[in-house]
């Protein structure tokens, strides 16, 4: 049993779909295929949602262009049987555009409804083309599978309800030897309203479905060769990691590595399901295997940076803070959905790095009577992970040396992991810094000499 997830670039055009079918055919046994919207479509739909507020006709025309792109693809693939479905999805999206125009407001529920069209279109197209190629495929509306809470645009799946739906809809289809095809990213909240799991959330959908199916493996098909030791566009010596641990992958993704949605790891790790990141343009390349062990490689390191983050200092109003201070603050952060990247606690003071969108007013409202909240914006969080950090403690010193001359605001071990180090610094020349950090940790001789000199 296998879940294969294809990202936007891996379904972008007719040639990509041909590769996809080739990949699905090489896998035997039960297969569930999860797809993102075609590359660029989600961005476009969100822009259309905003446009609809003041330009209904413009928004409708733009929607029509996206429909045309899908119809052209169906035509190029001789899968025109899917045309009525593609048109039906477009009509639904058009009604949503009208809803936004009538209200003169792009509310989160309407935006979710509108962007869902992207994954509905792509999954319908993929299912139709698989069928066309002789693979018995069954399309299932992801909203009938993935149950979520009602937090639009950033919903959290309900595992028990999703597992139940998977048992009712996916398992019977797999038992009939069908390849199940569904859209990532989308789900349904209370009352059946359409929700989405946050940008890049199709990876997360694949992991949730993989967990509900107790899959043997979750394959994330993308347009790069795997997880790199650093962003290869920024760091010349970056290499693909053959393997890494769940923990390191999760931290790396949280700190800005774009290749995986950070929440993907948790459901897989909880059940010990390996996640593989693979290149759909080079399906025979080994990719990166992420699992509990993570270390068949003789040691690895990876670095990532996430700019811009906000540092939040929460200080107790009373000099003698009560012992539950940190717990109360953390609870308030959870209630305000403020996701903590990394932080430290010191008696009546708590310092955390959060992303700029975090609802800090919500936090202030919750802790205002016992704590003061101060913030500093526009910083960068840099992290290094890898079992080599655990094995060789000197590497931590070398890593810190790479920050020489910079104003360091916070040094911490994310997730308490011995294999990870996070540093929050001023947001200047971060590419440079990443290259230096990667160089010292990867043992590049010249960078090393410069760092210890």
Residue 190 to residues 107, 147, 148, 195, Cα–Cα distance (Å): 17, 8, 7, 9
Report the distance separating Cα 369 and Cα 390, nearest Å.
41
Q: How many residues touch ligand ASP (CB under 6 A)?
A: 12
Closest CA to 314 of 290, 338, 282: 338
Kindly report whether the peptide bond that precedes residue 308 is cis, defined as omega within 30 degrees of 0. Answer: yes
3-state secondary structure of 28: coil
Given the complex with Mg ion, which of 7 and 287 has the nearer CB atom? 7
Q: Is 200 in the site for ligand ASP (CB under 6 A)?
A: yes
Report the distance separating Cα 169 and Cα 175, nearest Å.
11
Residue 298 burial class via C-beta count within 10 angstroms: exposed 0-12, middle 13-18, buried 19 and up: exposed
Q: Nearest residue by C-beta to ligand ASP?
A: 202
Given the complex with ligand ASP, which of 185 and 300 has the nearer CB atom? 185
Given the complex with ligand ASP, which of 36 and 138 has the nearer CB atom? 36
Q: Hey, which bits of 223-264 come out as E strands?
A: 243-245
Q: Is 8 in the site for ligand ASP (CB under 6 A)?
A: yes
Residues composing the chain: 453
129 binds, among Mg ion, ligand ASP, none (CB under 5 to 8 A by kind): none
Q: Is 154 in the site for ligand ASP (CB under 6 A)?
A: no
Q: Which of residues 157, 184, 189, 294 is near ligand ASP by CB under 6 A?
A: 184
Tell which positions 363-402 bind ligand ASP, by CB under 6 A: none
Cβ at position 256, least distance to ligand ASP in Å: 16
- Cβ neighbours of residue 18 closer than 8 Å, sequence gap 6 or more: 77
Given the complex with ligand ASP, which of 184 and 348 has the nearer CB atom? 184
Tell which positions 10-69 bind ligand ASP, by CB under 6 A: 36-37, 42
37 binds, among Mg ion, ligand ASP, none (CB under 5 to 8 A by kind): ligand ASP
Given the complex with ligand ASP, which of 198 and 443 has the nearer CB atom? 198
Given the complex with ligand ASP, which of 187 and 226 has the nearer CB atom? 187
118 binds, among Mg ion, ligand ASP, none (CB under 5 to 8 A by kind): ligand ASP
Both tokens of 400, joined, read: 């810190």
Handedness of CA 259, 264, 270, 274 (dihedral sign): negative
Given the complex with Mg ion, which of 74 and 241 has the nearer CB atom? 241
Q: Which stretch binds ligand ASP (CB under 6 A): 24-32, 199-207, 272-280, 350-358?
A: 199-207
Locate tokens 């080079």: which residue? 282
Q: CA geometry: angle at 306 spanning 305 and 309, to 5°?
A: 140
Residues that bind ligand ASP (CB under 6 A): 7-8, 36-37, 42, 118, 184-185, 199-202
């Amino acid at each position: 049993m296998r879940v294969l997830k294809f990202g936007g670039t891996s379904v972008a055009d007719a040639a990509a779909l041909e590769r996809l079918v080739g990949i699905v055919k090489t896998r035997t046994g039960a297969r569930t295929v999860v797809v993102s919207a075609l590359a660029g479509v989600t961005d476009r739909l969100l822009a259309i949602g905003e446009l609809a507020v003041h330009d209904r006709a413009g928004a409708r025309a733009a929607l029509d262009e996206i429909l045309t792109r899908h119809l052209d693809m169906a035509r190029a693939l001789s899968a025109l049987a899917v045309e009525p479905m593609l048109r039906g999805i477009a009509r639904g999206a058009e009604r949503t555009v009208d809803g936004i125009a009538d209200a003169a407001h792009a509310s989160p529920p309407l935006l979710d409804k509108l962007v869902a069209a992207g994954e509905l279109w792509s999954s319908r197209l993929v299912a139709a083309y698989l069928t066309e190629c002789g693979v018995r495929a069954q399309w299932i509306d992801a909203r009938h599978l993935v149950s979520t809470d009602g937090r639009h645009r950033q919903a959290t799946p309900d595992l028990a309800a999703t597992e139940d739906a998977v048992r009712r809809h996916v398992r019977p289809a797999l038992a009939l030897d069908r390849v199940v095809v569904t859209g990532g990213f989308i789900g349904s909240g209370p009352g059946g309203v359409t929700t989405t799991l946050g940008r890049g959330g199709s990876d997360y959908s694949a992991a949730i479905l993989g967990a509900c199916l107790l899959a043997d493996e979750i394959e994330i098909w993308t347009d790069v060769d795997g997880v790199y030791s650093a962003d290869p566009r920024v760091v010349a010596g970056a290499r693909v990691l053959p393997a890494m641990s769940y923990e390191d992958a999760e931290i790396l993704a949280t700190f800005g590595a774009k290749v995986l949605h950070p929440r993907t790891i948790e459901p897989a790790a909880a059940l010990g399901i390996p996640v593989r990141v693979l290149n759909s343009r080079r399906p025979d390349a080994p990719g990166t295997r992420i699992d509990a062990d993570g270390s068949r490689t003789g040691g690895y390191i990876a670095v990532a940076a996430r700019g811009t983050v906000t540092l939040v200092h929460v200080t107790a109003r009373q000099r003698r803070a009560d012992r539950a201070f940190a717990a109360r603050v953390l609870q308030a952060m959870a209630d305000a959905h403020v996701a903590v990247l990394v932080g430290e606690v010191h008696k009546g003071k708590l310092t955390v790095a959060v992303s700029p969108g975090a609802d800090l007013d919500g936090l202030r409202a919750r802790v205002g009577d016992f704590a003061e909240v101060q913030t500093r914006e526009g910083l960068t969080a840099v992290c290094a992970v890898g079992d080599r950090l655990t094995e060789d403690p000197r590497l931590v010193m070398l890593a810190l040396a790479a920050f020489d001359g910079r104003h360091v605001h916070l040094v911490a071990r994310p997730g308490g992991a011995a294999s990870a180090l996070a540093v929050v610094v001023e947001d200047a020349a971060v590419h440079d810094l990443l290259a230096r950090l990667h160089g010292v940790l990867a043992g590049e001789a010249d960078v090393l000499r410069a760092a210890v000199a």
